[in-house]
Amino acid sequence: MANNFSYVFPAIRGVQAGREYYVSMCPMRLLPKLFLFDEEELVPELRAQRTLNKARIPEIARYIVANKNSYTFSAITASIDGDVTFEPVGADTSSTFRMGTLSVSMDAKFIVNDGQHRRAAIETALTTAPELGDETIAVVFFLDRGLERCQQMFADLNRYAVKPSASLGILYDHRSAAANVAKHLSLTSELFKNLIETERSSLSARSRKLFTLSALHYSIVELLVEAELEDFAAASKKCQEYWELVGRQIPEWLYVRESKMTAGEVRRDFIHSHAIVLQALGRVGRALFQLPNVDLAKRVEKLRSVDWSRKNASTWEGRAMVGGAMAKSGQNVTLTTNELKRVLGLKLTEDEAVAERALQASRGSAGRTSKRGAT
């Protein structure tokens, strides 16, 4: 009897690689019922998808609920394993591309080829915002051709997917308070104006830019607490005040603006324009602002004594650099912050102190090993 009942979708039929496919709009409340994900216990060779990363789901669900009037989702792609019938609308059946209705047997299975995390996040979001259930998401249906074909579809759909650079994502993000402050500073600050790369998150040797927008953004996240970022004017003013003070202590930044040095030369010979150092300077700034009755200008002036040269391996190796190359890990940000806090006379947090002890222990061990080798 079950074969007498079907799901019916309004759809457009198309052709790719000689095979029919269908595009329809599916109410969100139906997604959890139609697209089940029950392959987690199968080995990768027998799955048509990657395993569901449940840690991603709450973040995507929060995005939907927090932006109910402006969220955007791309289509879900699914394969249908079961009987389907397409009935075109109108008398003209000669065209390859036709509108009509797609009937899918209720015995059929829907295999998600692309969009499983969107589907799971929508299901989660509906528990707190059930009014979204009548909104729709585009679904592209292909006819299932077996496991091998489904796996190939997954590979093909993800083969050329390229995530935009962090800087470009920040540039186009109008919801993030920190992104908005970073963009404002890049356009208005005398320190950063015309020196910020807004499209790429890494700089070539010939680039005339000294900083990336993503590096500036992450430094602002370190500098200000979330509550401060909610007041755009106050946050921008505080950031500008701090970074202008910092900029006065690093002459090479001024030399680039005055064309006395190229941006490439500064990045090659010094560490202070790299993301890890900006992030560390942001953390230092937050610690300074938390001090009672601090003379900010006097404290920041101590940065003039810092030797930022890459040749200063005794200071920066193991902190901002590993094997002479700039490092990027959170641990390296912490260790770079520690050195700057030492220069400015700031107390380390418990986590920072633990990281510092580990670094000193490793340096001591390396030194003893070196001496034994010499003898």
**Chain position carrying tokens 């496919």:** 21
Q: What pLDDT, on a 0 to 100 scale, did the predictor assign at position 244?
A: 95
Q: Which of these, 213, 105, 132, lies nearest to 165 by C-alpha position? A: 213
Amino acid at 24: S
pLDDT, tens digit, 9 for 90 and up, residues 236-279: 999 999 999 999 999 999 999 999 999 999 999 999 999 999 99
pLDDT, tens digit, 9 for 90 and up, residues 174-208: 989 999 999 999 999 999 999 999 998 889 888 99
pTM equals 0.77
- Rounded mean pLDDT for each run of 10 residues along the chain, 375 residues in total: 74 90 93 71 52 86 93 90 87 67 89 87 94 94 76 74 86 92 95 93 90 96 95 96 96 94 95 96 97 93 96 95 92 96 96 94 69 51
Q: Would you kindly state where each structural domain of the chain is located, as residue ranges?
A: 2-159, 166-368
Task: Please give the full DSSP string across 314-347, using - where no structure is assigned.
Answer: HHHBTTTEETTEEP-SHHHHHHHHHHHHHHHTPP
d(CA 120, CA 53): 10
